A and B are shown apart, each in its own frame.
Chain A
């Protein structure tokens, strides 16, 4: 069966440009998470979607970051006016329900030059 799919796998952008990262979760999974992983750092929580509930945005580092999940499936993470410190691997994960194991995609490696 298909796992979590993320695109693009790599993205290089210039400082100040906007980027969109896409996540296709496993079909039927109600929970969707975005995490960020920097070199030598742990996974940093960004945002959580659960069904039709309001998302938990408590991990978004600034108002330049936003995310949406359309139709309870595909999710897009948008970073506006990118900065060099935004360079990292952005990981998406989905789970069947809250507290079920997370299934991760292979991430989008974002490089801001």
Chain B
């Protein structure tokens, strides 16, 4: 069965303090790894899809990378508006569903 483990569970950064979130996964025949952002009271918002090891995607202060075992979401010079829960999900093999991790809760303070 597909498994996704995210770390850390929570992360507190000061504005401008760069860091990385980790997503370790186990899946047979990866078809895609997805990163989402979720704000309180809202549904998850799509950020990136990565399909194969070595692939990288960037959007503003965020950069996602992928290896055969894990993905990192790098946050460069974060701002308070980057505060949210970041979710990682995978799909693979013949599965129709995405399997989600429990997320990393990020707080960025001034």
List chain A positions with a Cβ less than 8 A from chain B: 4, 33, 35, 40-43, 45, 48, 50, 56, 58-59, 91, 93, 98-99, 101-107
Q: How many whole Å from A96's CB to the nearest CB in chain B?
A: 12
List chain B positions with a Cβ less than 8 A from chain A: 4, 31-32, 34, 36, 41-46, 49, 87, 89, 91, 96-103
Secondary structure of the B side of the interface? strand
Q: How far is the CA of A106 from the CA of B41 in the complex (A)?
A: 7
28 A–B contacts, CB within 8 A, in A order: A33-B97, A40-B102, A41-B102, A42-B87, A42-B100, A43-B44, A43-B87, A43-B98, A43-B100, A45-B98, A48-B96, A48-B97, A56-B96, A56-B97, A59-B97, A91-B43, A91-B44, A93-B43, A99-B32, A101-B34, A102-B34, A103-B46, A104-B43, A104-B44, A104-B45, A106-B41, A106-B42, A106-B43
Q: How many whole Å from B6's CB to the nearest CB in chain A?
A: 9
Q: How many whole Å from B95's CB to the nearest CB in chain A?
A: 9
Q: How many whole Å from B46's CB to the nearest CB in chain A?
A: 4
Q: How far is the CA of A47 from the CA of B89 in the complex (A)?
A: 16
Q: How far is the CA of A93 from the CA of B45 in the complex (A)?
A: 10
Residues of B within 8 A of A99 (CB): 31-32, 91
Q: How far is the CA of A4 from the CA of B42 in the complex (A)?
A: 12
